Structure 1
Amino acid sequence: MTGEKISSYQLGMIIISFFMGSALVINPAVAAKQDAWFAFLFAWIGGLVLLWLAIKIAELHPKKSLVGILIDCFGRFWGKLIALAYGWYFIHLAAEVIRTYANYATTVSYPETPLLFFSVSYSLVVIYALKVGIETVGRMSEVFVPFIILVIIFTFSASLSSMDIRNFQPVLSQGFLPPLKAGFTTMTLPFGEFFIFLMILPNLNHQDNFKKTSLLAYLIGGCILFTIVCRNLLVLGADMLARDIFPSHIVFRLIPVIDVAPLLDINLIIAGVVKTCICLYASARLIIEVFGLLNYRILVLPLTAFAVSLSMMVRGSVIEQITVTMEIWPIYSIPFQIIIPLALLVLSLLNRKNSNYNRT
């Protein structure tokens, strides 16, 4: 295992930044229109269940990463095979984040610039951060996440004069199904992705704090995203919220007197870089554990290059990316976020019960 360590506070900041990632500009809850707040709350509660699932699994396998847990529960062959599937999922997630940033930049700021330029430029920062080490990602989150929170508080306050409480109405006019569907999508992106932090757990210097840190960071990150959803809905209204590709950008542009839109760009870069770093670090650590390699850094460049290439292939346009995010990604994520974790919990509990029985 790596000797790199991060503090509980740094882990908390990484989790918050990870949740914000691309969700700062794209949030599937907006598909529920005026019930976006309800869809988000449903997602938040559902994600809390998945968080408890991950924490419980970690408690049953102390000091082990996701790879070790999978091997304990499924055996060496199947455990490693499923671990490699998770490695693919993490790389795919990194590619999605890279493409989101590149699409945002070419849509709202630099429409004449090639998409590949932003993907490569963004990835160079990721490569540098991972080459230096996961500790650097922790320190970066420690410094910049409070700045992101301050920006969100400022934009919410500055938008108060443009808000209309009537945009929350009519409540549940189309029934429960549309907000529940949008809520499930939001649960899988980003809350259900917390399972990736089982690959980061061995880096925590005080692992007893994992549960407390994770829950607190989850609540703070959820509050931030809920604030963003409510702010955008109150300012833009249900129809415009659902139509706009990047509603947060429109809200930033509507703030009077000063142009604060560049702050959204900065926030997206910071949170997106952290999320991409975690995805690629987790996949690199996973691969070296599966194949018995010594240093994950040798994989950083090829994995990042592969993620950039994948990001250029997975989507044809911004509209297609939004459609796939809403319709396909939640289904695609079910095995990784729900089915396999549930199987791990059941098998872990059975193994623990059998172990206790054999001792007696």
Structure 2
Amino acid sequence: MKEMRIGGKQLFWLVAVMQAGMTILLTINPAVMAAGRDAWLSTAFASLLGVFSAFVHARVNRRFPGQTLVDFVPSIVGKWAGNAVIGLYFLFWYVVLGMILRQYTEFILSTILPRTPLLVPLVSMILVAAYVTVSGIEVLARCSELFGPFILLGILLPLILMVDDAKMNYALPIYSDSGLLVILKGSLPTMTFLGDCVLMWMVYGFVAEQRTGSKYVLLGVGMSGLLTCAATFLSIVVMGPEQSSNMTYPYFNLIRNTSYFDFVQNMDSLVIAIWIVSVFIKVSLYFFACTYGTAQWLKVRRWRRMAWFVAPAALGIALVPRDFIESSVLFPQKIATPYILPIHMFGLPLLLWAVAKMRRAGEQPVKRKN
């Protein structure tokens, strides 16, 4: 069977679709709660740091074309330290995979399926993600390329329709009521979501255009950040910072109340569709990274068999939180922001980049298994 390969444009849509939906839906509320009317400045700053994070990951991977995290980390820091770093990344990825599944399930149950048992949407998403994973990264990339333009249009169209309802006084004064530290605090939730482009360390090795592939990741992260900033700003100027901070999903409520000349209405179903597709791509990408990466790390020759381990592990982690508060509030506040963000998304990538440059580490491309 031929080697798995994806194109640069597919990589762009993979990143953009993975990040846009969940970032817009889940980070506006905590950003507004922290920074008030200046939350859009927080998301703008987070977007810049997200692009910087993607740049660091790309620079590391560029030194090791055709390789994944499991291949190049031991080449940089040695076998034992490399295994510790790899194990830490997989620990984070397994936990985040389970939390994404639980956050998705909580949203579905609270909006459209309130009487549905928890396991129904949870297991359904795991099965779909597992099917796409064992089909290969190419299938996932094609799905993101197919759905990506529709998701972009689905996000932009409601935002454009809401411009006429904007009350700019809600956004004034700028900066003076918050200050730098408050704006930085408000940027942390968005930064945490955009920083998961580190997952591309398990995907870069499959990109056909190894020398130019990194720019597509930067563009994907940048576009997701820009859309989040626009959605945050419109949520503030349409509903006001106080009302936005009191809503669990400000963007969803903003679109739910959209009415354009009484002709375009009830667009909340569009948001739900965007959310489901975005979560599907994100869950599938994490599922692939955990499946392929764990098999590669443990030297399992038929990597698809590892899906039988990843699926129940993800399900078990998703069932750990007792409710919405633990999965969508306490997990980001107590684990994702203080630990995963500084270590997994910035600290280790910067350290690996610095050590690789000092040691002038770099390997020849290795052939990926299909």
Partner in structure 1 of residue 343 of structure 2:
335
Contact 1:2-1:203 at 8 Å conserved across structures: no
Match status 1:209 vs 2:212 = yes
Matched ranges for 1:166-185 at <5 A: 166-172=169-175, 173-185=177-189
Over 3 Å counting, the alpha-carbon distance change for 1:248 and 1:93 in structure 2 is same
Give 2:89's match in structure 1, choosing from 86, 89, 94.
86
Partner in structure 2 of residue 234 of structure 1:
237
Unaligned 5+ runs, structure 1:
356-360
Q: Which moved more, 1:133-142 or 1:225-234?
A: 225-234
Partner in structure 1 of residue 305 of structure 2:
298
Partner in structure 2 of residue 14 of structure 1:
14
Q: Which moved more, 1:34-43 or 1:222-231?
A: 222-231
Over 3 Å counting, the alpha-carbon distance change for 1:347 and 1:204 in structure 2 is same
Moved over 3 A (4+): none
After superposition, the C-alpha distances for 1:95-145 in whole angstroms (9 at most, x for unaligned) are: 121111111111122222222221112222111211222111111111111
Counterpart secondary structure, 1:26: helix
Partner in structure 2 of residue 349 of structure 1:
357
Give 2:328's match in structure 1, choosing from 306, 321, 324.
321
Counterpart secondary structure, 2:282: helix
Higher helix share: 1
Partner in structure 2 of residue 248 of structure 1:
251
Counterpart secondary structure, 1:328: helix
TM-score (structure 2 length as normaliser)? 0.90
After superposition, the C-alpha distances for 1:167-197 in whole angstroms (9 at most, x for unaligned) are: 2123220322222112133212x12111110
For 1:84 and 1:3, locate their aligned partners in 2 and report how far apart those are by CA, in whole Å: 26
Q: Give aligned pairs, total.
A: 354
Unaligned 5+ runs, structure 2:
364-370
After superposition, the C-alpha distances for 1:202-237 in whole angstroms (9 at most, x for unaligned) are: 111121121221222222222222222122222221
For 1:253 and 1:353, locate their aligned partners in 2 and report how far apart those are by CA, in whole Å: 52
C-alpha RMSD of matched pairs (Å): 2.1
Over 3 Å counting, the alpha-carbon distance change for 1:220 and 1:320 in structure 2 is closer
Contact 2:63-2:362 at 8 Å conserved across structures: no
Give 1:37's match in structure 2, choosing from 29, 40, 44.
40
Contact 2:64-2:362 at 8 Å conserved across structures: no
How far is the alpha carbon of 1:320 from its aligned partner?
5.8
For 1:286 and 1:343, locate their aligned partners in 2 and report how far apart those are by CA, in whole Å: 21
Contact 1:103-1:318 at 8 Å conserved across structures: no
Match status 1:130 vs 2:133 = yes
Give 1:311's match in structure 2, choosing from 303, 315, 318.
318
Contact 2:244-2:250 at 8 Å conserved across structures: yes
For 2:311 and 2:42, locate their aligned partners in 1 and report how far apart those are by CA, in whole Å: 33
Q: What is the identity, as a one-letter code, of the residue corresponding to 1:284?
A: T
Q: Which moved more, 1:80-89 or 1:312-321?
A: 312-321
Over 3 Å counting, the alpha-carbon distance change for 1:234 and 1:339 in structure 2 is same
Q: Percent identity?
A: 22
